Amino acid sequence: MSKVILITGGSRGIGAATARLAAADGYAVAIAYHQNVQAARTVVDELLADGHRAIAVQADIASEQAVGHLFTTVDQQLGELSGLVNNAGVLDKQCRVDAIDVDRMQRIFSTNIIGSFLCAQQAVRRMSTRYQGNGGAIVNVSSIASRTGSPNEYVDYAASKGAIDSFTIGLAKEVAAEGIRVNAVRPGFIDTDIHASGGEANRIQRQQQVIPMQRGGQPEEVARTILWLLSDQASFCTGSLVDVSGGI
Ligand code: NAP
Beta sheet of 241-244, edge-to-edge order: 54-58, 28-33, 4-8, 81-86, 136-141, 180-187, 241-244
The CATH number linked to 110 is 3.40.50.720
| SS3 state of residue 220 | helix
Catalytic residue among 27, 33, 154, 157: 157
Whether residue 131 lies in the annotated active site: no
3-state secondary structure of 59: coil
Euclidean distance between CA atoms 115 and 71, whole angstroms: 13
The secondary structure element, H or E, covering residue 195 is helix 194-197
pLDDT mean across residues, the chain: 98
Contact status, residue 161 vs residue 218, Cβ threshold 8 Å: no
What's at 23, amino acid-wise? A
Cα of 39 vs centre of ligand 1, distance in Å, is 12
Cα-to-centroid distance, 12 and ligand 1 (Å): 7
Instruction: Tell whether ligand 1 has an atom less than 6 A from the beta carbon of residue 8.
Output: yes
Pocket lining: 164 vs ligand 1, CB cutoff 6 Å: no
Taking the C-alpha atoms of residue 80 and residue 74, their distance in angstroms, rounded to an integer, is 8
Residue 186 Cβ inside 6 Å of ligand 1? The answer reads no
87 CA → ligand 1 middle, Å: 6
Which pLDDT value is given to residue 66? Answer: 99
One pLDDT digit (tens) per residue for the chain, 248 residues: 789 999 999 999 999 999 999 999 999 999 999 999 999 999 999 999 999 999 999 999 999 999 999 999 999 999 999 999 999 999 999 999 999 999 999 999 999 999 999 999 999 999 999 999 999 999 999 999 999 999 999 999 999 999 999 999 999 999 999 999 999 999 999 999 999 999 999 999 999 999 999 999 999 999 999 999 999 999 999 999 999 999 99
Q: How far is the CA of 8 from the centre of ligand 1 (A)?
A: 8
For strands 136-141 and 54-58, give the pairing. unpaired
What pLDDT, in 10s, does the model give residues 147-189? 999 999 999 999 999 999 999 999 999 999 999 999 999 999 9
Tell which one of 7, 87, 193 to mutate to probe ligand 1, the residue whose CB is within 8 A of the most ligand atoms: 87
C-alpha span between 74 and 123 (Å, rounded): 11
Of 114, 188, 111, nearest in space to 145 by CA? 188
Bridge partners (DSSP) of residue 184 are: 140, 241
The secondary structure of 161-190, three-state, reads HHHHHHHHHHHHHHHHHHCEEEEEEEECCE
pLDDT, tens only, 54-76: 999 999 999 999 999 999 999 99
| Tally of domains in the chain | 1
Residues 6 or more apart whose CB falls under 8 angstroms from that of 146 comprise 158, 161, 162, 164, 165, 186
Q: What is the C-alpha to C-alpha distance for residues 140 and 151, in angstroms, rounded to an integer?
A: 23
Structural domain including 160 reads 4-244
